Amino acid sequence: MQQEFTTTEYEIIDKEMLTDDVALFQIKGRLDFKPGQFVEVTMPHFGNITLAPCSNPADKKEFELCVRAVGNTSDAFLKLLPGDKINLRGPYGNGWPTNKLFRHDLIIIAGGIGFASLRSVVFDLEDKIYFSKVRIFSGFKKPEDVLFKADLQRWQKKFKVSVAVEHIDSNSRAERGMITDLIEKTRLNHQKSLVLMCGPELMYPHCVEALNRKGILSKQIYVSLERRMECGIGLCQHCSCGKYLVCHDGPVFRYDQIKDELNK
C-alpha cells in the first residue's frame, strides 16, 4: 500500500456559511479528483480532517470543500477566512461508479452533510443527456439545516428533486418526514435503477429496505463510508470495516459487498 504524506498548499478565496455550523469554502488551485474521492486537510495543532471535494470535477482552476463543525479540528477549519492557506494531501480512494451510470435511471440519496460527496456527481450530470431519469432525495432534520438550497432549486429544472425534513415549519417547501418516506411514495424503475447514497450509516439499512421493497436489489446500490476515515492511507487502521479498509478499498462500496462487514 502506498504511503504518501506530501501535502500541497492552497489558498481560500471565498467562504459561505450554509448553516450555523456548516461552511462552504472555495479554494484556489487545481485538484484532479473523481466524485466521491476524499482529501486529508492538515490543521496545525489540531490534526487532520477528511473531506470530499464537492465542486464540479471539470473545474481545473478551483474547487470547493464543505465543512461541518463537529469537533476541535473541524471547528478550527470553520474559523478560517478568505486569504488563509490550507495544506492537503490526496485525493484518495475509489469514487462513485460514474462509468457504470450510462443509460440507467440514477437515484441519488443524500442525508445531511452527506450531500457534499454527491454534489460533485450532480454537477457532472448537468450537461449530460444519456440518463433516462435522475431523482434526488435529500433529508435534513430542520428547515434551517437544508444545504445547497440554490443548487437544489436549479436542479429542479432538470431533475426530479425531493427534500424531506423531520421537523418542519409552515414556511418550508420541503416535505415532512424521512428520506424513506420519499422513497416509499415514488414510483421507481427497479430494472434500470442505480443508487448512490451518502449520509449517516444508520440511515443505510432503512433506505436499502425501502429500495428493496421497490424491487431494487442491494447490488444496484452504492454507499460511501467516508465518515470512518482518519489517516487516509491505511496506517492507523481506524477505518477498518470487517475485511476492508475504507480508505484503501472505498470509501464507495456496493452495498451487497459491504453490508455483512458493517458491524464487524
- Interatomic CA distance for residues 126 and 159, integer angstroms: 9
- Is the pLDDT at 185 greater than 50? The verdict is yes
Q: Which of 72, 92, 112 is the last residue of a domain?
A: 92
> Is the pLDDT at 250 greater than 60, yes or no?
yes
Say if residue 240's pLDDT is above 80: no
The better pLDDT of the pair 62, 201 is held by 62
Looking at residue 197, its pLDDT comes to 96
Residues 86 and 102 in one domain: no
β-strand partners of 108? 136, 196
**Confidence tier at 7 by pLDDT (50, 70, 90):** confident
Alpha-carbon gap, residue 248 to 1, rounded angstroms: 8
Residues 103-144 pLDDT 10s: 788 999 999 999 999 999 999 887 665 556 889 999 999 889
Residue 2 pLDDT exceeds 60: no
How far out from the chain centre does Cα 119 lie?
7
- Domain residue limits at 123: 98-261
Reported as half-sphere exposure (CB side, CA atoms, 13 A), residue 68 has a value of: 13
Q: Do the domain assignments include residue 105?
A: yes
Q: Is residue 143 reached through a cis peptide bond, with omega within 30 degrees of 0 on the bond before it?
A: no
Residues 255 and 181 in one domain: yes
Q: What is the pLDDT of residue 261?
A: 80
Query: Would residue 1 count as lying in a domain?
Result: no
| Same structural domain, 84 and 117 | no
| pLDDT band with cut points at 50, 70 and 90 for residue 1 | very low
What mean pLDDT do residues 174-192 have?
87
Structural contact between residues 186 and 215, judged by C-beta atoms closer than 8 angstroms: no
Cα torsion 235, 237, 238, 240 to 10°: value is 140
Counting the structural domains of the chain, the total is: 2
Residue 4: what pLDDT? 56
What is the per-residue pLDDT across 71-105, written as a single tens digit (0 to 9) for each? 899 999 999 999 999 999 989 999 999 888 877 88
- 114 and 148 housed in the same domain: yes
Last residue of a domain, one of 75, 92, 109: 92
pLDDT digits (tens, 9 = 90+) for 24-48: 999 999 999 999 999 999 988 888 8
98-134: b (≥16 Cβ within 10 Å) or e = beebeebbbbbbbbbbbbbbbbbbbbbbeeeeebeeb
